[in-house]
A = this chain, B = another copy of it.
């Protein structure tokens, strides 16, 4: 199950950023499961990683390498997360970097490793290593669609986004910038200061400090605003690369425009994860407006978005606003005046004054809940802050997928 359109949009190549795919048979023979990305000399890169204390071995290694070197290659395998694997996991992650370094002109510190899949099993090193030469041989800047497929696990569809914009509106032909990215993720989705796997590249020239700032800003309003099941992965990572091959340099002046464009791509990739959330039958935007501050807006939004009772009601297209009010009430908002707030479902006023709205009819509520896309809007009427969180419903299918995943 999934919501929305499944089709990948046109993926514009980013000069200076190549992708090569191979089938290494890590878990399933014949499946694309190995991805190598090559970053041209002179690029900058920034990364964000999971805050889970049980972070996976490749996350530990990638953070170390990124801290001291500008990466030349990114190496991703699916089928195995190399998480909960202790010392052996670290050694395996390093060995895979060494193997890719040997097959190219890089040092192992210029390589960032990423893994996703089952937790707690040792990485099948012979198969992984044997796939590297084919992935390197396949490197091309036209391989975004195949790469989007190669990083999937329980996902049912590839996720990508791409755009081009003109950084200098006065000279329409001079300053075209491309931003293209892919993401994966479907379950164990509640990124915490990071994301599931996502790789975004641009041909803008952006110095390392500005690039990191842009990444944080775009990430905060995209991957940090989604939840499928409140579980934060051990392997989350998002990498942003700027190759500079467009010849257009992002400076303080053009920064806000760049971040705005970057956010479009990031939100698109983040929403694609929710649309493909495990067992998803609904795509739900939880908007909390007129909150006193970001913290309380997010507390209310996440409490609604993660309430099993709200999510099962959504699965049944049931306008069970009592469960939403109950979730708001336990969100820990200080001095909440329950009589001051309003609740809308897809534009229909459902509750105010602490009770069902007098204008509300069960028929209108039922009708509002039928679409695949649902907007839950809570107006706290006590401030100026608005925050949005995206989530799914909770279906039989979610339970089936997660009760059967390992077997």
Contact = CB atoms under 8 A, between A and B. Distances in A.
Contact of A231 (B53, B229, B327, B396): B327
A313 interface: yes
A66 B406 CA distance: 53
A407 interface: yes
Given A229-B309, A399-B399, A52 B355 contact: no
Given A231-B330, A321-B120, A322-B118, A312 B403 contact: yes
Interface size range on A against B: 35 or more
B398 A316 contact: no
Contact of A403 (B83, B231, B316, B321): B316
Contact of A309 (B81, B320, B338, B402): B402
A356 interface: yes
Contact of A399 (B231, B336, B395, B405): B395
Interface string A314-349: 011010111101111111010010110000000000
A300 to B, nearest CB: 11
Interface stretch (A2-10, A15-23, A85-93): A85-93
A142 interface: no
Contacts of A394: 308, 399
Interface string A352-375: 011110000000000000000000
B52 A329 contact: yes
Q: Can you tell how many copies of this chain the complex includes?
A: 2
A84 B321 CA distance: 9
A318 B86 contact: no
A232 B53 CA distance: 28
Q: Which among A81, A231, A353, A407 has the highest number of chain B CB atoms within 10 Å?
A: A231
A55 B402 CA distance: 34
A326 B54 CA distance: 6
Contacts of A355: 84-89, 120
A106 to B, nearest CB: 29
A192 interface: yes
Given A231-B326, A234-B326, A402 B338 contact: no
A201 B234 CA distance: 48
Interface in A230-251: 230-234
Given A322-B119, A356-B120, A402-B313, A231 B307 contact: yes
Interface of A: 51-55, 81, 83-89, 118-120, 187-188, 190, 192, 229-234, 306-309, 312-313, 315-316, 318, 320-323, 325-331, 333, 336, 338-339, 351, 353-356, 394-396, 398-400, 402-407
11 contacts: A53-B336, A85-B355, A86-B355, A88-B355, A120-B321, A308-B394, A308-B398, A312-B402, A313-B403, A315-B399, A395-B399
